[in-house]
Amino acid sequence: MNYIVCQEPGTFLLKTQDIPQPKAGESLLRIRKIGICGTDIHAFGGTQPYFNYPRVLGHELAAEYVSGEAKGFKEGDVVSFIPYFNCGSCVACRNGLTNCCTSIKVFGVHIDGGMAEYVVVPDAYLLHGEGLDFDELALVEPLAIAAHGIRRAGVREGEAVLVMGAGPIGIGLIQFAQQVGAQIIVIDVNEHRLDFCKTELGVWKTLNPLNNDVMESLVEMTNGDMPTVVIDATGNRNVMNNAFQYLAHGGRYVLVGLQKGELSFSHPEFHKRESTLMSSRNATRDDFEYVIESIKSGKISPKKYITHRIDFKELPADFEALMAPENNVIKALVEIND
């Protein structure tokens, strides 16, 4: 079979190896669609934490069930799986927080992932397609991360929620916050993405910090109250540090984006607000099932995010183009055809 490995930052190689064989408790899947995410882009650029090279990337996956003995699954079924493999016994797992297991192995990050024609995965992590097609299933994982972030934030109806970053995760955060009736303000430097948020998602307000004074604009938009929830989906250190000033008194700041360095903020300014700072990592099975049901019911329509499609074997040559702002990529899918 063919697979693609990130040999080192900036280098993808197309290679071949034997099709893996499942052991007891595992299943063989044939990968059909692979979503390209920020993790993949940061790994390619050498800025992804928790990462070693060489590594096979890919954890936003849609597949066909090939073989194994997983209960309720048969050959040809359209499937996906939860790509966060947890130990089941650490303090986080014992408390139901499998998404932040102390020894978690994220497919395509800590261990080799799904940029391959076939993969073997533990049966316990399989997800039924529930009538979704390959495009939709490939977008379930990033949407689950977004759903988890909104759940962590405890967003309530009528709140002003500031989402920083209008990439795929940010777009998911917007849509799940909208489901609970929040008023969304989006910040991004990419006008194409801001236009998408306005025209396709009906976002309340958008801001481009290259064109607007963010503090002044937020004060005007919220009548001086400032957003009660701020969520970072950029993973940009400067953006994350600057955003503490945007938070209302009594507000919550949720870090969905991830960067390598340290956070830096004024303790007095943070303290006087009695602010809450929290991270949001990965997602749980409940989040995945919630996303699948939201797509089935039509509350979320993720196919509109897909702007680019790439043939699997062309990915090593074409990947860098996905990072170019002028190409207006929102979501790219890699396709493995017969």
Q: In order of start, what are the domains of the chain with their CATH numbers?
A: 2-138+301-335 (3.90.180.10), 145-279 (3.40.50.720)
| Residue of 3, 332, 293 whose CA lies nearest to 127 | 293
- What confidence category does residue 309 fall into, taking pLDDT thresholds of 50, 70 and 90? very high
d(CA 244, CA 138): 33
Specify burial of residue 268 (Cβ count, 10 A radius: 0-12, 13-18, 19+).
Answer: exposed
| Residue of 117, 167, 122 whose CA lies nearest to 145 | 167
Strand-pairing partners, residue 70, are none
- What confidence category does residue 324 fall into, taking pLDDT thresholds of 50, 70 and 90? confident
d(CA 39, CA 55): 12
* Secondary structure letter of residue 138 according to DSSP: H
Report the 3 state secondary structure along 76-99. Answer: CCEEEECCEECCCCCHHHHCCCHH
d(CA 123, CA 140): 18
Residue 50 has pLDDT above 80, yes or no: no
Q: What is the pLDDT of residue 223?
A: 96
d(CA 8, CA 14): 13
pLDDT tens, position by position, 78-103: 999 999 999 999 999 999 999 999 99
pLDDT tens, position by position, 108-163: 999 999 999 999 999 999 999 999 999 999 999 999 999 999 999 999 999 999 99
| Extended beta strands in 167-319, E state | 183-187, 205-207, 229-232, 252-255, 276-279, 306-311
Residue 46 has pLDDT above 90, yes or no: no
pLDDT tens, position by position, 177-210: 999 999 999 999 999 999 999 999 999 999 999 9
Q: How is 272-296 classified by DSSP, letter by letter?
A: HTT-EEEE--S--HHHHHHHHHHHH
d(CA 335, CA 333): 6
Q: Average per-residue pLDDT in the chain?
A: 96
Residue 252 has pLDDT above 80, yes or no: yes
- What confidence category does residue 39 fall into, taking pLDDT thresholds of 50, 70 and 90? confident
